[in-house]
Chains A and B, each alone.
Chain A
């Protein structure tokens, strides 16, 4: 499992974060979902959302992307980029901003395909139907007629782990990949 871990950097296109029979722990908020992967398949890059026309120098409402929702017991691994000249913020779920720094939430724009051609740093995970939401800024002095987002990655079907397996993982006796599927506002001080 050494080669498989979230947000892997370096050359190469998207790789699965876990394989069949691998243990995963999907962190959704403060909930740990201990699972074992029983099936995975690739999701080719596709246009998952079109936020539509955006007037010049305007920010859209936060719009959910149900096309990236998964079935019960499944999680998705996605990388993405915008096709149009906007700055887009990702929320996962709808209230938790991703790519958060102390003072700003970092947006993704069209330059990501040059700066990070394999889109490693855009990677996020979706647990079941907790689908992401996107908010787009048309930064231009020109109106946009479309605001399209393209995403692709992997779909994982999982089953729950029994308590003995979880105990072994927590004791460090069995391997597990931890997958973050929501934002985090930080630890209160």
Chain B
């Protein structure tokens, strides 16, 4: 059956709605956490399928998506430009088939407690 099916098709999942209240790489926060229960059978990875959010930062800003935070941050996508006061929505066709093997993190170039960038992602987890 695998020959005619999409053998690497996974399970669609979504992260929580994450309110990013601080800019800069040191403040990168998890926007999707990989399934890595010690008792699970198999190793999971995931591919990002959709990014939805709103920029309330008071200015246009880039958001950066990768893994880790601070000096350990590794960008997995190019920065995505978002427009102040607008929703942003990057769907599957806009996104490369980048595969994550660790929690996905994100930070904006501009955000503060009263002027956050809010984000939610949909992923396809494989394994």
Q: Which residues of A come within 8 Å of B, CB atoms?
A: 11, 57, 59, 85, 87, 104, 106-107, 109-111, 114-117, 137-142
Contact = CB atoms under 8 A, between A and B. Distances in A.
20 contacts: A85-B11, A85-B35, A85-B125, A87-B40, A87-B41, A110-B11, A111-B9, A114-B6, A114-B9, A115-B1, A115-B2, A115-B5, A116-B1, A117-B5, A137-B37, A139-B36, A140-B35, A141-B36, A141-B103, A142-B13
Given A87-B41, A104-B41, A139 B35 contact: yes
Contact of A111 (B1, B11, B35, B37): B11
B30 to A, nearest CB: 8
B87 interface: no
B64 to A, nearest CB: 21
Contacts of A104: 41
Q: Which of B1, B9, B36 has the most CB of A within 10 A?
A: B1
A85 B34 CA distance: 13
A137 B16 CA distance: 20
Given A110-B11, A111-B10, A111-B11, A138 B37 contact: yes
Interface of B: 1-2, 5-7, 9-11, 13, 16, 33-41, 44, 103, 125
A111 B11 CA distance: 7
Contacts of B39: 59, 137, 139
Contacts of A115: 1-2, 5, 7
A140 B36 CA distance: 7
A110 B16 CA distance: 21
B44 A139 contact: yes
A187 B54 CA distance: 61
Nearest to B2: A115
Nearest to A138: B37
- A-B pairs with the 10 shortest C-beta distances? A141-B33, A139-B40, A139-B37, A57-B37, A139-B35, A140-B35, A114-B9, A110-B11, A85-B11, A107-B41
Contacts of A142: 13, 16, 33
Contacts of B44: 139
Nearest to A9: B1
Contacts of A140: 13, 33, 35, 37
Given A137-B40, A139-B35, A139-B37, 14 more contacts: A59-B39, A85-B35, A111-B9, A114-B5, A114-B9, A115-B2, A139-B40, A140-B13, A140-B35, A141-B33, A141-B35, A141-B36, A142-B13, A142-B33
A142 B123 CA distance: 14
A173 B16 CA distance: 64
B93 to A, nearest CB: 21
Contacts of B6: 114
Contact of B38 (A57, A109, A114, A116): A57
B91 to A, nearest CB: 21
Nearest to B30: A141
A117 B38 CA distance: 28
